[in-house]
A and B are shown apart, each in its own frame.
Chain A
Amino acid sequence: MNTHDLSQFIVFAALVSVLAVPLGHYLMRVFTGQPIWLERVFGPLERLIYRLADVKVEEEHYWLNYAAALLIFNALGAGLLFLLLSYQNYLPWNPQQLPGLAPDLAFNVTVSFITNTNWQSYSGETTLSYFSQMVGLTVQNFLSAATGLAVAIALIRALTRREQHTLGNFYVDMTRTTLYVLLPIAFVVALVLIQQGVPENMHAYVTATTLEHATQTIPEGPVASQIAIKQIGTNGGGFFNANSAHPYENPTPLSNLIEMICIVLLPAALVISFGKMVGDRRQGRALMVSMTVLFLGSFLFCYLAEAHGNPAFTAFGVDQTISKQNPGGNMEGKEVRFGILNSTLWATLTTATSNGSVNAMHDSFTPLGGLVPLFNILLGEVIYGGVGCGLYGILIYVMITVFIAGLMVGRTPEYLGKKIEAREIKLAVLAMMLYPTCILGLGVASLLIPEALKSISNAGPHGLTQVIYTYASAAGNNGSAFAGFNANTFYQNIVIGIVILIGRFGIILPVLAIAGSLVTKKITPISNGTFPTHGPMFIILLTSIIILFGGLTYFPALALGPIAEQFSFSQPPTQP
């Protein structure tokens, strides 16, 4: 890594660290109902919402009620969004007079946005009206992020409460998260992005004539407001098809830096809040260290793979070294203005968290470089992870880790004083089995069913990688794609939509059930016989288990995908 790239990375890492700590503290105050300054501004609005919706603030939910409230809330949101997309031609703010979406596409977009996935099998500028983008998608960007946070908060409460039965009030959690966390941050970020040149208007598209006298349509729209929440809420769904590689979504180096920080800020801050909320900051720190080790490892691997360039080009004598004049490395599918560092850093961030926005095309990464974003998703997006879901995702791994470690020290496993017993393990295993079932099971179907096979643009190992990536991205609610894959077919829209739903609610329900079981348990005080879940041994074990489980489950498929593709470089090219 040259000094330039290194400095950029250090600036990025430093800014995230500086911002995440106070934000983590602030989140803790919001979730635990402590007084915060913003209540003076939004307090009346908050109370008005409760009054209008008939929410009884003191009334707490049992886990089943909490889950039911969450499901009903999301189902209503889904119904509304589906109608809105299907009939956008009858709705206002449609200067391009775009037609309503076909049912299969509308279904796919709907489940994709209510689940914080933002998988896009359409291109925004040619498919969606401003009304659909603003009232439909942007609203769901907020609500899906808030839903993830609510589940995480419920789980944290379960870990801290002694022999109780309720997890909090879902509606209150949603309202406070949206009002005091997501809206204010999104507002500030949107303003900064507008200042940087991201459009925020309702104009019709502009037609321009280029120097070569070709006509070009330049799309416009309320972009900044959607980009802000898409990054902060780990949603990732772009306003434009090119996502954050598009100059209107991501115009300047500063906007790129800000957007990268926004990807990881809330997930990282939440880990800090976790430590504070469970009353032992070391617990949060342990998770943070484990995540950061995984992150640095995957980022470095990706960076080095891309910086190394394409061996096929090297064979032709192409200079791929990174220098001031030469972005170097494998630049296919990357913006020259971002170069290797910002492209690989973004790719790692967006898949480590469950964001899914891209500023470079993962499909065009070298096989091993592209393996990193894929592997990050396959691990379950627990390296910081999505807003809320990253935390509860890694806590599932923690349960398994603690269980194995607990057995090894000869004591019934416990985490933060809560005994991890058959019920928790059953639910955790159930959650962990969902991903491989969806990704491998339906991935294979996509490779064998002729109807599905049409979506693949490259034959051979790369096509296999495209499919696994697609299904991993759907199951993990990431939303990024190996862009060569054509997902807008009836089969893929429906199947991917179903996988997205399973990947979201198939995890949330077991997590809430675990919370419901943990909340009733005693908290065993720490003794010398308790295995500490904040020390280096735990961090090493947790990190190894995450890698081991991911590796063991997906190694054969990855061997036939990216690994086989990488090896094909070293093979003499076959004559056509």
Chain B
Amino acid sequence: MTRKPTRRGLFNPTLIVEAALNAFFKLNPLELIKNPVMFTVGVASLTSTMITIRDIFLFKPFALEIQITLWLWFTVLFGNFAEAMAEGRGKAQAEALRKTKIETMAKKLSHLKSAEYKLVSAVQLRAGDFVLIESGDIIPGDGDVVTGIATVDESAITGESAPVIRESGGDRSAVTGGTRVVSDCIVVEIRTNPGETFLDRMIGLVEGAKRQKTPNEIALNILLIGLTLIFLIVCVTLQGFAAYSGKMVPVIYLIALLITLIPTTIGGLLSAIGIAGMDRLVTFNVIAKSGRAVEAAGDIDVLLLDKTGTITLGNRMAAEFIPVHEVTEQELADAAMLASLTDDTPEGKSIVRLAEVRFNWHAEHYRKPDMVFVPFSAYTRMSGVDTNGISIRKGAPDAILKLCGQKTPVEITRAIQKVAKTGGTPLLVARDQNLLGVIHLKDIIKPDIRERFAMLRKMGIRTVMITGDNPLTAAAIAAEAGVDDFLAEASPEKKLELIRLEQAQGKLIAMCGDGSNDAPALAQADVGVAMNTGTMAAREAGNMIDLDSNPTKLIEVVVIGKQLLMSRGALTTFSIANDVAKYFAIIPALFVGIFPAMQVLNIMRLGSPESAILSAIIFNALILIALIPLALKGVRYRPASASAVLRRNLLIYGLGGLIVPFAGIKAIDIVVSHFMGI
């Protein structure tokens, strides 16, 4: 299964049918009461149903009552439908996630050093168990490699086909259940119990079942309950005022007024917005441990980013050959090129390309049949070629120096330092254990990273680059990449200190990290995004995991967090603004019988009191369903200053919310009064 951002159509017919059915199941009062606004609509619908039935038996006119009652029920059902749609889409996501949880058998070891294993089902594994995983086996659960090194195919969860190396110790020890070992064999200590893995948590979140309300959602819910209660008071007391004024109003009209006034639009769509937000997160291959973290992402002030892999391409490019002693540059380039001819890594290819460009060579002409290539390995940390009895090696300085076994020449030390100072990585080249010189691998700033940072700045987020480089190099890269600030020569303590310092100023910090030494910082940060490639410790400490291990993904997470809030805010504003038009439709309709002059307030010139009330309630139900796509997709967010965003949303949802119902109710009234004769 590859889960590159999958865009399923919003209105998949099977989903719609299923959601429509579920909308009825959700009428269960125990379900409904979780959403006080919709519960109120439910009670109102029930009351109005009983009134209608009573009037049928009392031989009173009931045609209008039936219609109002039906539309009230529709309002509840539409709200339920929105939630069911969101859940349905989430379930589809969860299904996809579940597929990665294939039922596997695990080779369980009785203890770490045991040579014997027992075959057990993966679901029987508990945290602390050791399992042996050999080439071709599926890893049965999340855990840490405790012995060995292996290449692992993680395409099942990341969609990335190139296998990755996982080894004990260090920062690349975590393995995820559902992935497959391609070569070698490892012993893994299982860290999670069944049902508690990251996948399990995420499945719970997108299905909406385990979704806990986020802080802002709780606050908004309180506001909506408050508004509902206020309008309840308004409508109940209105009967008293009407009685004093001379004529009681039919209860069913008051119910209609109440339902049009309470914020049903946002009330009905509130949970759909939340579920859809989680769902969107999954399509970006990010797993969140809670909705709270996603919402917090929208509030981020400062983003701490590792340089490598985030700001610069993880792969460095050869930029320069620095020969030492009497070696010429050409000689060094020749050796380096030969050593890299079959090196498929970007670095290797870039060395070949540099040599070709510098000396106008054609690499293929140098390939000889007797060449024996020594591939790069995690143990030797070098690669090379043996040809004509000559052995050429290139690799990490300490590895090559160890190979050559001689004291480091001053010239080499100087060259290595020179490369390091400019932010580059030195590689040493040796022929027959004689040092030829240094290859300067340069950091390449990611092509679109400047724009990404500009975008973050527009959102009001300050970016801080964290790097182990010296301050000079860091400053050079920071300036080139366009980050706002940098932390050079960063140690885990320094990172933690920086986060605490910023937090003390009241800022919310997001941080991306993968290493074990990142864990404290990830835990301290308000939003900690752990890379999937990282250690188990880092993944436990963070509150989100990026399956693609792409730190700029945080921008998407921030956008999703903001969209969550914006959708709620926009629909709340829209809901409240709608009430103005509804008053102008219903109030004259209610009282024109007592005060004929009240007709002046009927500024929409609606056909009759009955058609006015019916139009308002129909509009109220239809607008809910019309806004479902918006709730599921989220209000569009374009990075801009808060004032600009507010101005835009106020115009669309505030002013729009004021005007749209006037037009909508009038249009419905024309249909209702002309074609249905009400």
Q: Which residues of A contact B (CB under 8 A)?
A: 162, 400, 403-413, 417, 420-422, 424-426, 429-430, 432-433, 436-437, 440-441, 443-445, 447-448, 460-461, 463-464, 522-525, 527-532, 535, 537, 540-541, 544, 548, 551-557, 559-560, 563-564, 567-568, 570-571
Residue B17 at the chain A interface, CB threshold 8 Å: no
Measured in the bound complex, the distance between the Cα atoms of B231 and A30 in whole Å is 42
Residue B459 at the chain A interface, CB threshold 8 Å: yes
Q: Give residues 594-626 of B contacting A (CB, 8 Å).
A: 594-598, 600-601
Nearest-CB distance from A46 to chain B (Å)? 36
Q: From A403, A433, A527, name the one whose CB has the most chain B CB atoms within 10 angstroms.
A: A527
Residue B166 at the chain A interface, CB threshold 8 Å: no
Assess whether B573 is in contact with A408, with CB atoms less than 8 Å apart: yes
Q: From A408, A432, A448, name the one whose CB has the most chain B CB atoms within 10 angstroms.
A: A408
> Which residue of B is nearest A531, CB measured?
B642
Residue B286 at the chain A interface, CB threshold 8 Å: no
Nearest-CB distance from A400 to chain B (Å)? 7
Picked from B230, B238, B568, B649, the residue with its CB within 8 Å of the CB of A433 is B230
Q: From B223, B261, B507, B561, name the one whose CB has the most chain A CB atoms within 10 angstroms.
A: B223
Assess whether B587 is in contact with A530, with CB atoms less than 8 Å apart: no
Picked from B222, B459, B566, B597, the residue with its CB within 8 Å of the CB of A570 is B597
Assess whether B587 is in contact with A556, with CB atoms less than 8 Å apart: yes
Nearest-CB distance from B232 to chain A (Å)? 10
Assess whether B241 is in contact with A447, with CB atoms less than 8 Å apart: yes
Assess whether A552 is in contact with B643, with CB atoms less than 8 Å apart: no
Nearest-CB distance from B658 to chain A (Å)? 9
Q: Give residues 632-678 of B contacting A (CB, 8 Å).
A: 637, 641-643, 645-647, 649-650, 653-654
Assess whether A537 is in contact with B598, with CB atoms less than 8 Å apart: no
Given contacts A426-B222, A559-B587, A571-B597, contact A409 B244 (CB under 8 A): no
Assess whether A410 is in contact with B233, with CB atoms less than 8 Å apart: no
Measured in the bound complex, the distance between the Cα atoms of B565 and A424 in whole Å is 17
Assess whether B566 is in contact with A571, with CB atoms less than 8 Å apart: no
> Which residue of A is nearest B462, CB measured?
A527
Assess whether A567 is in contact with B597, with CB atoms less than 8 Å apart: yes
Measured in the bound complex, the distance between the Cα atoms of B225 and A430 in whole Å is 10
Assess whether B234 is in contact with A529, with CB atoms less than 8 Å apart: no
- Which residues of chain B have C-beta atoms less than 8 A from A532's C-beta? 642-643
Assess whether B506 is in contact with A461, with CB atoms less than 8 Å apart: no
Assess whether B238 is in contact with A535, with CB atoms less than 8 Å apart: no
Assess whether A552 is in contact with B507, with CB atoms less than 8 Å apart: no
Assess whether B580 is in contact with A444, with CB atoms less than 8 Å apart: no
Q: From B235, B458, B601, name the one whose CB has the most chain A CB atoms within 10 angstroms.
A: B601
Measured in the bound complex, the distance between the Cα atoms of B609 and A443 in whole Å is 27
Residue B375 at the chain A interface, CB threshold 8 Å: no
Q: From A404, A529, A567, name the one whose CB has the most chain B CB atoms within 10 angstroms.
A: A529
Measured in the bound complex, the distance between the Cα atoms of B507 and A527 in whole Å is 10
Measured in the bound complex, the distance between the Cα atoms of B237 and A552 in whole Å is 14
Given contacts A433-B226, A441-B237, A560-B245, contact A405 B598 (CB under 8 A): no
Assess whether B245 is in contact with A524, with CB atoms less than 8 Å apart: no
Nearest-CB distance from B429 to chain A (Å)? 48
> Which residue of A is nearest B564, CB measured?
A410
Given contacts A407-B565, A411-B565, A560-B245, contact A444 B237 (CB under 8 A): yes
Assess whether B230 is in contact with A528, with CB atoms less than 8 Å apart: no
Residue B62 at the chain A interface, CB threshold 8 Å: no
A-contacting 9-mer, from B116-124, B294-302, B315-323, B412-420 = B294-302
Assess whether B226 is in contact with A530, with CB atoms less than 8 Å apart: no
Picked from A448, A522, A540, the residue with its CB within 8 Å of the CB of B244 is A448
Assess whether A429 is in contact with B596, with CB atoms less than 8 Å apart: no
- Which residues of chain A have C-beta atoms less than 8 A from B296's C-beta? 412
Given contacts A529-B461, A531-B646, A552-B583, contact A417 B597 (CB under 8 A): no
Picked from B506, B562, B580, B598, the residue with its CB within 8 Å of the CB of A417 is B506
> Which residue of A is nearest B229, CB measured?
A433
28 example contacts (A-B, Cβ-Cβ < 8 A) are as follows A403-B223, A405-B569, A408-B645, A409-B565, A410-B564, A411-B562, A412-B296, A412-B299, A421-B215, A421-B219, A425-B222, A426-B219, A433-B226, A433-B230, A436-B230, A436-B233, A440-B233, A528-B460, A529-B460, A529-B461, A552-B261, A556-B257, A559-B598, A560-B241, A564-B591, A564-B594, A567-B597, A571-B597
- Which residues of chain B have C-beta atoms less than 8 A from A535's C-beta? 643
> Which residue of B is nearest A528, CB measured?
B460
Nearest-CB distance from A436 to chain B (Å)? 5
Assess whether A525 is in contact with B505, with CB atoms less than 8 Å apart: yes
Assess whether B458 is in contact with A448, with CB atoms less than 8 Å apart: no
Assess whether B222 is in contact with A429, with CB atoms less than 8 Å apart: yes
Give the dominant DSSP class at B's interface. Answer: helix
Nearest-CB distance from A560 to chain B (Å)? 5
Q: Give residues 577-599 of B contacting A (CB, 8 Å).
A: 577, 579-580, 583, 587, 590-591, 594-598
- Which residues of chain A have C-beta atoms less than 8 A from B508's C-beta? 524
> Which residue of A is nearest B579, CB measured?
A552
Picked from B460, B569, B572, B583, the residue with its CB within 8 Å of the CB of A530 is B460
6 A-B pairs closest in CB distance: A529-B460, A407-B569, A410-B562, A567-B597, A429-B226, A444-B240
- Which residues of chain B have C-beta atoms less than 8 A from A425's C-beta? 219-220, 222-223
Measured in the bound complex, the distance between the Cα atoms of B561 and A548 in whole Å is 29
New contact pairs (14) apart from A528-B459, A529-B460, A532-B642, CB-CB < 8 Å: A403-B223, A404-B573, A407-B565, A410-B566, A429-B226, A430-B226, A525-B301, A555-B583, A556-B590, A557-B238, A560-B244, A564-B597, A564-B598, A568-B595
Given contacts A411-B298, A412-B298, A441-B237, contact A432 B226 (CB under 8 A): yes
> Which residue of A is nearest B562, CB measured?
A410
- Which residues of chain B have C-beta atoms less than 8 A from A404's C-beta? 569, 572-573
Assess whether B645 is in contact with A410, with CB atoms less than 8 Å apart: yes
Given contacts A426-B222, A464-B241, A567-B598, contact A537 B650 (CB under 8 A): yes
- Which residues of chain A have C-beta atoms less than 8 A from B462's C-beta? 527
Assess whether A464 is in contact with B245, with CB atoms less than 8 Å apart: yes
- Which residues of chain B have C-beta atoms less than 8 A from A432's C-beta? 226, 230
Q: From B234, B295, B594, B600, name the one whose CB has the most chain A CB atoms within 10 angstroms.
A: B234
Measured in the bound complex, the distance between the Cα atoms of B586 and A555 in whole Å is 11
Q: Give residues 190-232 of B contacting A (CB, 8 Å).
A: 215-216, 218-220, 222-223, 225-226, 229-231
Given contacts A436-B230, A528-B642, contact A407 B216 (CB under 8 A): yes
- Which residues of chain B have C-beta atoms less than 8 A from A553's C-beta? 230, 234
Measured in the bound complex, the distance between the Cα atoms of B590 and A433 in whole Å is 25
> Which residue of A is nearest B570, CB measured?
A408
> Which residue of A is nearest B235, CB measured?
A556
Nearest-CB distance from A425 to chain B (Å)? 4
Measured in the bound complex, the distance between the Cα atoms of B301 and A553 in whole Å is 38
Assess whether B650 is in contact with A408, with CB atoms less than 8 Å apart: yes
> Which residue of B is nearest A548, CB measured?
B576
Residue B46 at the chain A interface, CB threshold 8 Å: no
Nearest-CB distance from A548 to chain B (Å)? 7
Residue B21 at the chain A interface, CB threshold 8 Å: no
Measured in the bound complex, the distance between the Cα atoms of B412 and A494 in whole Å is 97
Assess whether A448 is in contact with B245, with CB atoms less than 8 Å apart: no
- Which residues of chain B have C-beta atoms less than 8 A from A560's C-beta? 241-242, 244-245, 591, 594-595
Assess whether A422 is in contact with B240, with CB atoms less than 8 Å apart: no
> Which residue of B is nearest A407, CB measured?
B569
Residue B463 at the chain A interface, CB threshold 8 Å: no
Measured in the bound complex, the distance between the Cα atoms of B215 and A424 in whole Å is 12
> Which residue of A is nearest B597, CB measured?
A567
Given contacts A523-B506, A537-B646, contact A411 B245 (CB under 8 A): no
Nearest-CB distance from A411 to chain B (Å)? 5
Given contacts A552-B583, A564-B245, contact A531 B643 (CB under 8 A): yes
Nearest-CB distance from A471 to chain B (Å)? 11
- Which residues of chain B have C-beta atoms less than 8 A from A524's C-beta? 301, 506-508
- Which residues of chain B have C-beta atoms less than 8 A from A408's C-beta? 565-566, 569-570, 573, 645-646, 649-650, 653
Measured in the bound complex, the distance between the Cα atoms of B237 and A551 in whole Å is 16
Assess whether B601 is in contact with A559, with CB atoms less than 8 Å apart: yes
Measured in the bound complex, the distance between the Cα atoms of B234 and A559 in whole Å is 12
Nearest-CB distance from B374 to chain A (Å)? 53
